[in-house]
């Protein structure tokens, strides 16, 4: 069993209204000195087998096909 963590973040230049809302809410709560906030997604996936490089290739294919919208999002895969 191999565990992989995938972090999907918006590309630079893509507007992030959710992040902006959080920025505003943090200001309202009294947190000052907060620059930009960007929100992304994380997926923890368990893959059967013991071959880390095969698992990584599989996870990358999942990202391309389903988990990330590569037009506006970047993804990073970490095998743990």
Considering only residues 51 through 80, tell me which ones interact with a second copy, judged by CB under 8 A.
58, 61-62, 65-67
For residue 50, the minimal CB distance to a second copy (Å) is 11
CB neighbours of residue 73 within 10 Å = 16
Considering only residues 9 through 48, tell me which ones interact with a second copy, judged by CB under 8 A.
9, 19, 22, 25-26, 29, 31, 33-48
Q: What residues contact residue 60 under an 8 Å CB cut-off, 6+ apart? A: 77
Q: What residues contact residue 3 under an 8 Å CB cut-off, 6+ apart? A: 44, 45, 46, 47, 79, 80
Interacting residue ranges for a second copy, rule: CB under 8 A: 1, 7, 9, 19, 22, 25-26, 29, 31, 33-49, 58, 61-62, 65-67
């Amino acid at each position: 069993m191999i565990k992989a963590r995938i972090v999907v973040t918006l590309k630079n230049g893509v507007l992030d209204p959710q992040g902006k809302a959080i920025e505003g809410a943090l200001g309202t709560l009294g947190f000052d000195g907060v620059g930009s906030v960007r929100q992304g997604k994380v997926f923890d996936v368990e893959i059967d087998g013991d071959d880390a490089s095969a698992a990584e290739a599989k996870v990358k294919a999942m990202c391309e096909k389903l988990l990330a919208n590569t037009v506006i999002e970047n993804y990073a895969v970490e095998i743990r």
